[in-house]
Amino acid sequence: MKTQKVPRPQSLLSASAIMGFYRQFPKVLHGGLSSLNSLFVMPVRSTMIFSPSALLRCLPLLAVLLLPGCALFEEGADLSNFHTVVLDPGHGGYDHGAHAFRGVDEKMLTLDVAKRVKPLLEVRGYRVIMTRTTDVFIPLGGRTSISNSHPDAAFVSIHCNWAGRRSANGVEAYYFNPHSAPLARNILGEVASCYGSHSRGVKFARYYVLHHNERPATLLEIGFISNPQEDASLQNPAVRQRIVEKIAQGISKIHGGHAPVAVTGS
Ligand SMILES: [Zn+2]
């Protein structure tokens, strides 16, 4: 199948390139910088990389960035042909994600939301695969591998936002490849105002799970658990149920609310 190349970070083999790549990320709200560092970019000082031991310490980072391989997006991977939805509850295990103002942390909220979305999508005729069903750590490359191994999939990563400024609030959705923007827009349009929050917009971001995804993919931030009001809402199971119904509506919107009939045959 013909593929379309997606821009990749330039050289990954120098400290300046790594730091430049790091700086390309938008303001890190979800999970905070410390969480992103632990998951994605190990803390790297530009001076230490030139010693052999420092290079060894950077190998996991290079492996994470290089081994998952192609940052290619399938040419035919548009929104009209997905029958499988890969739900990706953010974080898990030792990676708690964002800390809630009060209540359970991001990793548990995202897992609960994904578990609630699954049956709603199945009722609509989709096959649903979850990147995790328990409180376990799944590497980012493992999450995209699941998505990339299903040529009829769309990928939806679920997160809760966090900011040092407690007044920050709102719902936002990210995409990397422009093909994925409608998916992000559809979900955000349904979720944004369903529990008294508001839309912060659909945004481009180089998040790993989007950048290394060959399928339509979006990362949804359902609200700020650093904000006392939004956190109180998101900690409420009844509110989460309202949110997941909107997520399911948003995902299926492109198909009029129900999965298209799969084309089978020899
Ligand atoms: Zn997160």
- What are the boundaries of each domain within the chain? 10-69, 73-255
Distance from residue 128's CA to the centre of ligand 1 (Å) = 21
Spatial separation of the C-alpha atoms in residues 51 and 61, rounded to whole Å: 16
The pLDDT score that the predictor gives to residue 242 is: 98
CATH architecture assignment, domain 73-255: 3-Layer(aba) Sandwich (3.40)
Distance from residue 52's CA to the centre of ligand 1 (Å) = 33
C-beta of residue 141 within 8 angstroms of C-beta of residue 68: yes
Distance from residue 182's CA to the centre of ligand 1 (Å) = 21
Distance from residue 152's CA to the centre of ligand 1 (Å) = 25
The pLDDT score that the predictor gives to residue 71 is: 37
Closest CA to 168 of 218, 243, 228, 220: 228
Cα 97-155-224 angle, rounded to 5 deg? 35
Spatial separation of the C-alpha atoms in residues 97 and 31, rounded to whole Å: 5
Note the pLDDT tens digit of each residue in 73-101. 454 455 678 999 999 999 999 999 999 99
Distance from residue 83's CA to the centre of ligand 1 (Å) = 26
What phi and psi values does residue 116 have, to the nearest 5 degrees?
-80, -30
Distance from residue 191's CA to the centre of ligand 1 (Å) = 17
- Local confidence pLDDT in tens for the 266 residues of the chain: 333 334 333 333 333 333 333 333 333 334 343 334 334 323 233 333 444 454 444 444 444 333 333 334 454 455 678 999 999 999 999 999 999 999 999 999 999 999 999 999 999 999 999 999 999 999 999 999 999 999 999 999 999 999 999 999 999 999 999 999 999 999 999 999 999 999 999 999 999 999 999 999 999 999 999 999 999 999 999 999 999 999 999 999 999 999 988 655 44
Distance from residue 110's CA to the centre of ligand 1 (Å) = 8
Cβ contacts of residue 52 below 8 Å, gap of 6+? none
Q: pTM of the entire structure?
A: 0.74
Distance from residue 53's CA to the centre of ligand 1 (Å) = 31
Token digits of residue 53: 């031991």
Distance from residue 204's CA to the centre of ligand 1 (Å) = 16
Distance from residue 37's CA to the centre of ligand 1 (Å) = 12
Distance from residue 161's CA to the centre of ligand 1 (Å) = 6
Distance from residue 31's CA to the centre of ligand 1 (Å) = 5
Reading phi first (left if > 0) and then psi (alpha if -120 to 50, else beta), residue 93 is in left
Distance from residue 146's CA to the centre of ligand 1 (Å) = 19
